[in-house]
Chains A and B, each alone.
Chain A
Amino acid sequence: MKTTSLERSKRMGQIVTYGALILGSIIMIFPFVWMILTSFKTQAESMKIPPVIFPSSFLLKNFSDAVASLPFFSMYANTILMIIFRVIFAVAFSSMAGYAFAKLHFKGKNILFGIVLMQMMLPSQIFIIPQYQMVAKLGIANSIAALVFPGLVSAFGTFFLRQSYLGIPNEVAEAAFLDGCNQWQTFTKVMFPLTSSSVAALTVFTAVFAYSDLMWPLVVNSDLNMMTLSSGLATLRGQFSTNFPVLMAGSLLAMLPMVVLYLFFQRQFIEGIAMTGGK
């Protein structure tokens, strides 16, 4: 008697759990489904009351309209180049600095690391006006270089990779040293490869962060051909304020590459972003 009631309450608990998870999933997924469905509708169809759920035919006109009014090819290229350069700089410089802060002894180490911590604690907006003025002075506004500029170094990456080097026992470096490696060889050939999972996490984090960033690309690159996907979409919003099918098509085009990457590498994405714990 007791076991059956216990089993029943366990059963109930499971039903509630699944019910809540499925309801939650529907709420999470619905905006994406609605975006996809709307992107194929005509404007008249999208404004019908009561709403039509499925488009009468899967028109591609909205996509061609979005592509015609915004240079999507340039936007993809700009976004990809910005991400590649930011990742290369963040990984290279942060690995070097992270290794030095974790494993080497040098004068001024604590003060220099204090600079790293200070940058991490301050919101990026406090730097943005002077950074913009530098870009303007250097005459590199409206370029890939301008998009990459604030991401040349990464305080967060340095902090994060330092943690990862701290986790490697000193004996590893000492053994490499005894085998005749100098500091640089010890770092590049022995230590750096041991941090590959952290480097992967930093790569994902840097890429997603750069891709989502809106204020900096809006401020430095006003030329439509030099916009990123995010800042380009903000422009599209102004152009088609009421034509939602075109806006949905544009948003879908902007989201698609990252979502596809995510679906293929979901474990790396989720663990990478959760591991970095930043953002």
Chain B
Amino acid sequence: MKKLFSVLSLLFLALTVSAQGYSVGDVATDFRLLNVDGSYVSMADYEDARGIVLIFSCNHCPYVVAYEDRMIELHNEYAPKGFPVIAINPNDTIAEPRDSYTKMIERAREKNFPFDYVIDADQEIYPQYGATRTPHVFLLERVDDEFVVAYIGAIDDNYRDAAQVEERYLANAIDALLAGERPDPEFTRAIGCTIKVRN
């Protein structure tokens, strides 16, 4: 019986994973989205970046809030090495008013975000990436003029307590790219908040 379940779930996996979003190795789409400072941001604007740490994020989700300080630290640690963070809010702001553009500006000020925090206002970007939750990380490596997905998943292995983290998946993945290696693991999962769409 258990075997049947495993076979079935593998089948489901094969059917679903191919159907949605990016896998590691895919070329990621660029975007032009409104930042909390009023400017429009594209990845192409980061001319000197070796890659981008794209984090689908928001204001209201407790899992995001638990990670905000770590996102700031990651940016401060890795932006100088060529991997800046861009946080991107994919939520519909009517379905989730706490994630409105105004509230994003407030949150960015409160936390003094050192990274760009943009809004996917038309909800056209997150489905292309296959983001399903916040926070959801897509680590992109610049190859020529394109951004190629190098790692997808979680920031680390313990959302609740940064002090208890055993594996810094994202930091390790960036370190691997900086060393000219492939991230291992290149895919992880974590509990997060669903991306909110209008009913």
A and B: partners? no
B interface, CB within 8 angstroms of A: none
